[in-house]
């Protein structure tokens, strides 16, 4: 290593390859990275503090703003956590609809990841194809919930409304089309010699280190640890589906890429199974303290009107207790620690954000590599600053 | 070998009989409340023991139970990658008392402990880099404490509607 002065450079917060407002202070020896100091908090909105003054249903739109690339998965994490605290089980149909929407959101999150990751490294074509397909999912989300990016479609105790025949039609078309699209992404990147040279052997982290640094999700699975919460601690009916958990061997950027690419196929596989086996029935739990009565009932029945008013104004009453519940977000283990105190507001809500921990391990993965490789490492862990800063 | 909550608890009680103050099995997750003095020993044991082997520290949570004494609670969320068990370890912390850091056991404790320090004001002794993380360096106060006003200190002052002056 050359004897000389270290050069300190500032990367971000306004840098397109940091995927948001992440600021890295890099110390360089020539072009080699010696030290990395991430600075976060530019997007801190105090979601945990705000949640303490809201009722349990009102928190749902806040969770959309955590990982806004796969918002439904954040809804899923929150709603299943509240249901665990309440101790209720929602109907099978609602669970399956949640799985379909959640897996669509996961595909959407991975679309944004592969598009921008490839764009950062210099492969410009991919982003156009992924955004074309992302648009299809956005249209489907709009059809069922009315919103595109932050749908807030899930509710405590079920989902906002049942899916429509139009949605099923779109979804069937998408299922038919999507394998071709994934083949297309693979053709562009997987055997591309430039892509391989930019990603293989970069940002290596061993399985033991990855666990010790708290990596979860595809970033941990790239190192060969098959920790997928959908399999490890099934929630929302995931135990009914047959799917594989892809793992890598080397724990480098390329393996993390391969894991996520395989997750496209596996997610589609889950969606297909959920759609084929979608049971009939209600989409909300039959619990008068949690679920709104129908609008038709409200017009005819005074007690239903009172009940609807009470639920809208107060939300569900949650018993005293503390739980931790986590789901497999598109970036890793998305957990909620909820403290209920018997009132309609959460006493404390802590979000276990996967990206927050992933960024803290950046130095481990980047040290000793070239400055240009910092970009591929950031891309490979797939961070969203909305979730890091909360 | 898979371990269920009862077995984990049994082994821990055999090892640290007087340090475990309380144990709760709520909605399928085991939570133990341990004494602050023994916290680091217990955490080291949980990590190093071959049968327990909690190798993933998912998060560190700070809770403010304001009028109560001791005021704070810190919860560690542990997972084992052997058979994906979960364990919550809670410790009660009075105000102005530091909690021993666990960053020497799990590297992943680094940022969560900084976050608890930043937002809740609980300090961790032995932490290599205990600085604010989400708020800026010269920020005054700890926003997630229950006595911190929701809209921030600047917004909650009383003001006179006629003169628009802060009282």
Please give the full DSSP string across A324-359, using - where no structure is assigned: EEEEE-SSSEEEEEEEE-SSSSEEEEEEE-HHHHHH
Both tokens of residue A299? 């017009």
Both tokens of residue A45? 């909105």
Q: Is A92 part of a structural domain of the chain?
A: yes
* Residue tagged 């802590």 (tokens): A350
pLDDT for residue B62 is more than 50 = yes
pLDDT for residue A349 is more than 80 = yes
The reply to whether B27 touches chain A by the CB within 8 Å rule is: yes
Q: Which residues of chain A approach chain B closer than 8 Å at the C-beta?
A: 40-41, 44, 46, 48-50, 52-53, 84-85, 87, 211-214, 216, 225, 227, 232-233, 321-324, 326, 333, 335, 337, 339, 347-348, 350, 352, 356-357, 359-361, 364, 389-390
Domain that holds residue A157: 7-389
Chain B residue with minimal CA distance to A214? B108
Pairing of strands B165-166, A346-352: unpaired
Task: Give B57's contacts in chain A (Cβ within 8 Å).
Answer: 214
Comparing A169-178, A221-230, B102-111, B146-155, which segment has the lowest mean pLDDT?
B146-155
- Tell me the average pLDDT across A362-386: 87
Nearest to B29 by CA among B114, B106, B86: B86
Task: Give A77's contacts in chain B (Cβ within 8 Å).
Answer: none
Which pLDDT value is given to residue A169? 92
Asked whether the beta carbons of B43 and B65 are under 8 A apart, the reply is no
Å from B77 to nearest chain A CA?
8
pLDDT for residue A107 is more than 90 = yes
Domains contained in chain A, number? 1
Eight-state DSSP code of residue A239: G
Q: Dihedral (C-alpha) B38, B41, B43, B49: value to the nearest 10 degrees?
A: -140
Q: A21-67: per-residue pLDDT in tens?
A: 888 898 988 888 998 999 888 888 889 988 988 888 889 999 988 88
Report the distance separating Cα B113 and Cα B120, nearest Å: 10
Interface test with A, best of B47, B107, B109, B127 (most A CBs within 10 A): B107
Task: Give B110's contacts in chain A (Cβ within 8 Å).
Answer: 360
Using CB atoms, which residue from A211, A321, A326 is nearest to B55? A211
The reply to whether B155 touches chain A by the CB within 8 Å rule is: no
Say if the Cβ atoms of B150 and A232 lie within 8 Å.
Answer: no
% of chain B beyond a pLDDT of 90: 17
Task: Give A41's contacts in chain B (Cβ within 8 Å).
Answer: 133-136
Å from A248 to nearest chain B CA?
16
- Tell me the average pLDDT across A124-139: 90
Domain that holds residue B29: 5-166
Say if the Cβ atoms of A212 and B58 lie within 8 Å.
Answer: no
pLDDT for residue B163 is more than 60 = yes
Whole-number average pLDDT of chain B: 84
Q: Is A1 part of a structural domain of the chain?
A: no
Q: Is A73 part of a structural domain of the chain?
A: yes
- Report residue A387 CA to chain centroid gap: 9
Contacts of A59 (CB under 8 A, 6+ apart): A51, A78, A346, A349
Report the distance separating Cα A319 and Cα A317, nearest Å: 7
Å from B61 to nearest chain A CA?
7
Q: Is A335 part of a structural domain of the chain?
A: yes
| B74 pLDDT tier (thresholds 50, 70, 90) | very high
Report the distance separating Cα B30 and Cα A114, nearest Å: 38
Supply the DSSP string of B98-163, one letter for each residue. Answer: PEEP-TTT-GGGHHHHHHHHHHH---EET-TT---SSS-TT--S-TTSTTS-TT-TTTSS-EETTT
Say if the Cβ atoms of A41 and B136 lie within 8 Å.
Answer: yes
The reply to whether B121 touches chain A by the CB within 8 Å rule is: no
Interface test with B, best of A21, A22, A41, A234 (most B CBs within 10 A): A41
**Helix locations, A154-294, DSSP H:** 165-189, 193-199, 207-212, 218-221, 229-232, 253-276
Task: Give A319's contacts in chain B (Cβ within 8 Å).
Answer: none
Question: Is the confidence metric ipTM above 0.90 for this complex?
Answer: no
Using CB atoms, which residue from B55, B58, B133 is nearest to A333? B58
Say if the Cβ atoms of A361 and B31 lie within 8 Å.
Answer: no
Which pLDDT value is given to residue A189? 87
Report the distance separating Cα A358 and Cα A365, nearest Å: 10
Say if the Cβ atoms of A214 and B134 lie within 8 Å.
Answer: no
CATH number of domain containing B45: 3.30.460.80
Asked whether the beta carbons of B99 and B36 are under 8 A apart, the reply is yes
Asked whether the beta carbons of A10 and A23 are under 8 A apart, the reply is yes
Whole-number average pLDDT of chain A: 88
Q: What angle do CA A295, A299, A305 make, to 5 degrees?
A: 75
Which pLDDT value is given to residue A267? 92
Domains contained in chain B, number? 1
Q: Is A94 part of a structural domain of the chain?
A: yes
| B1 pLDDT tier (thresholds 50, 70, 90) | very low
Asked whether the beta carbons of B90 and B75 are under 8 A apart, the reply is yes
Using CB atoms, which residue from B61, B81, B110 is nearest to A227? B81
Say if the Cβ atoms of B61 and A350 lie within 8 Å.
Answer: yes
pLDDT for residue B24 is more than 50 = yes
Å from B107 to nearest chain A CA?
5
Asked whether the beta carbons of B124 and B117 are under 8 A apart, the reply is yes
Which pLDDT value is given to residue A270? 92
Contacts of A378 (CB under 8 A, 6+ apart): A17, A18, A19, A22, A120, A362
Task: Give B61's contacts in chain A (Cβ within 8 Å).
Answer: 337, 348, 350
CATH number of domain containing A322: 1.10.645.10
Q: Is A2 part of a structural domain of the chain?
A: no
A278-309 b/e with 16+ CB inside 10 Å = b? beeeebbbeeeebbbbeeeebeeeeebeebbe
| B157 pLDDT tier (thresholds 50, 70, 90) | low
Å from B14 to nearest chain A CA?
26
Interface test with B, best of A54, A83, A209, A212 (most B CBs within 10 A): A212
């Amino acid at each position: 290593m050359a004897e000389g002065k270290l050069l300190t450079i500032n990367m971000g917060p306004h840098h397109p390859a940091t995927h948001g407002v992440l600021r890295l202070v890099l110390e360089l020896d020539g072009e080699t990275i010696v030290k990395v100091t991430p600075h976060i908090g530019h997007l801190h909105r105090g979601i945990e503090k705000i949640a303490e003054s809201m009722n349990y249903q009102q928190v749902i739109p806040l969770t959309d703003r955590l990982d806004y690339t796969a918002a439904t998965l954040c809804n899923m994490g929150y709603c299943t956590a509240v249901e665990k605290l309440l101790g209720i089980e929602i109907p099978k149909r609602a669970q399956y609809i949640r799985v379909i929407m959640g897996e669509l959101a996961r595909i959407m999150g991975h679309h944004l990841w592969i598009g921008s990751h490839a764009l950062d490294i210099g492969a410009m074509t991919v982003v156009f194809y992924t955004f074309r397909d992302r648009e299809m999912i956005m249209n489907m989300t709009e059809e069922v919930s009315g919103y595109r990016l932050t749908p807030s479609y899930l509710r405590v105790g079920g989902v906002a409304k049942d899916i429509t025949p139009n949605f099923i039609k779109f979804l069937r078309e998408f299922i038919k089309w999507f394998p071709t699209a994934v083949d297309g992404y693979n053709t562009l990147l997987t055997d591309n010699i430039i892509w391989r040279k930019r990603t293989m052997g970069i940002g290596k982290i061993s399985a033991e280190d990855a666990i010790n640094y708290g990596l979860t999700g595809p970033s941990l699975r790239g190192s060969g640890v098959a920790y997928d919460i959908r399999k490890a601690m099934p929630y929302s009916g995931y135990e009914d589906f047959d799917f594989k958990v892809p793992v890598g061997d080397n724990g480098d950027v390329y393996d993390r890429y391969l894991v996520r690419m395989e997750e496209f196929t596996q997610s589609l596989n889950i969606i297909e199974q959920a759609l084929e086996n979608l049971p009939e029935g209600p989409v909300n739990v039959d619990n008068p303290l949690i679920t709104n009565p129908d609008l038709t009932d409200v017009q005819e029945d005074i007690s239903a009107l009172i009940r609807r008013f009470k639920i809208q104004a107060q939300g569900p009453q949650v018993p005293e207790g503390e739980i931790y519940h986590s789901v497999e977000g598109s970036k890793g283990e998305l957990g909620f620690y909820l403290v209920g105190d018997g009132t309609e507001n959460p006493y404390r809500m802590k979000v276990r954000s996967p990206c927050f921990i992933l960024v803290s391990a950046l130095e481990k993965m980047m040290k000793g590599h070239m400055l240009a490789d910092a970009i591929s490492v950031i891309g490979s862990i797939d961070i969203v600053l909305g979730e890091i800063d909360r | 070998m898979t371990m269920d909550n009862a077995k984990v608890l049994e082994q821990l009680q055999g090892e640290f009989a007087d340090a475990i103050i309380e144990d709760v099995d709520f909605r399928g997750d085991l939570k133990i409340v341990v004494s602050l003095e023994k916290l680091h020993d217990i955490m080291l044991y949980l990590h190093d023991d071959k049968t327990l082997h909690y190798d993933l520290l998912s998060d560190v949570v700070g809770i403010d139970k304001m009028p109560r004494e001791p005021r704070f609670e810190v919860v560690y969320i542990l997972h084992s990658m052997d058979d994906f068990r979960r364990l919550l370890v809670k410790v009660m912390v009075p105000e102005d008392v530091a909690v021993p850091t666990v960053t020497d056991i799990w590297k992943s404790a680094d940022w969560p402990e900084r976050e608890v320090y930043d937002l809740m004001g609980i300090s961790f002794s032995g932490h290599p880099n205990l600085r604010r993380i989400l708020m800026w360096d010269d920020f005054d106060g700890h926003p997630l404490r229950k006595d911190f006003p929701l809209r921030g200190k600047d917004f909650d002052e009383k003001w006179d509607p006629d003169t628009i002056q802060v009282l």
